[in-house]
Chains A and B, each alone.
Chain A
């Protein structure tokens, strides 16, 4: 199985900050990586696919990059509604594993 390691697990940030989350795969997955945002008690929200393509309706302050084994999710100018937990997911092969999550908290 492909393991995904996200870092950091937690981060504290302020409104307006630039935030970067890293996701590392245990083997190459091309660009078959997705990012999700989840708020407490809610279902995940699909943000980015193919490592860097923004899903329709997602604000442009979110961006993704990477290929192979290293990927990043960047949020420029953090907004109050962005405080949440973020997960990466690989879709290169079954099982479709998720990273452990990164919780973005208000500083």
Chain B
């Protein structure tokens, strides 16, 4: 069974940093685009960023709310995905999920279909 497991969440003070990890079982991260999504307590889902696979030039995309503060990276030797979060503020308090991007390709184009596998999430609390 394919699974994603996040870790690294916890309590951090405003202005602090935290690094989350996403470790899969049953899949090789370098074969997929991978995303991070968060959900503040009692709120909806917010996409925060993507790490594209080699076929997509190993580039990243970020939501405006985290750009310049958060960095997504991948270590192929460890088959692990990371979310480095800096300059945290109280609005970053949320459950953070990693998810696998499902991509469908035709003869000349590819399309993003959604996120077909999700981890269980890890809670990040930013508080004085």
Taking beta carbons and an 8 Å cutoff, which residues of A are in contact with B?
1, 32, 34, 36, 38, 43-46, 49-50, 53, 55, 87, 89, 91, 94-101
Q: Are B64 and A49 in contact (CB under 8 A)?
A: no
Residues of B within 8 A of A98 (CB): 44-47
Shortest beta-carbon distance from A72 to chain B in Å? 17
**Dominant secondary structure of chain B at its interface with chain A:** strand
Q: Are B112 and A32 in contact (CB under 8 A)?
A: yes
**Chain A residue nearest to B111 in the complex (CB):** A32
Q: Name the one of B62, B104, B114, B116 contacting A89, with C-beta atoms under 8 angstroms.
A: B114
Q: Are A95 and B44 in contact (CB under 8 A)?
A: no
Q: Are A101 and B44 in contact (CB under 8 A)?
A: yes
Residues of B within 8 A of A96 (CB): 35, 47, 50, 112
Is B118 located at the chain interface by the 8 A CB criterion?
A: yes
Residues of B within 8 A of A53 (CB): 113
**Chain A residue nearest to B95 in the complex (CB):** A43
With A32-B111, A50-B104, A97-B47 as contacts: A55 and B116 at CB distance below 8 Å: yes
Residues of B within 8 A of A36 (CB): 45, 114-115
Residues of B within 8 A of A38 (CB): 45
- Knowing that A34-B115, A43-B97, A49-B114 touch, tell me 12 more A-B residue pairs with CB under 8 angstroms: A32-B111, A32-B112, A32-B113, A36-B115, A38-B45, A43-B119, A49-B102, A53-B113, A89-B45, A89-B47, A91-B111, A98-B46
Within 8 A of A (CB), among B91-123: 97, 102, 104, 111-121
With A95-B61, A100-B44 as contacts: A50 and B118 at CB distance below 8 Å: no
**Chain B residue nearest to A34 in the complex (CB):** B114
With A46-B114, A46-B115, A89-B114 as contacts: A95 and B47 at CB distance below 8 Å: yes
Residues of A within 8 A of B11 (CB): none
Residues of A within 8 A of B45 (CB): 36, 38, 44, 87, 89, 98, 101
A97 to B64, CA, bound (A): 12
**Chain A residue nearest to B120 in the complex (CB):** A43
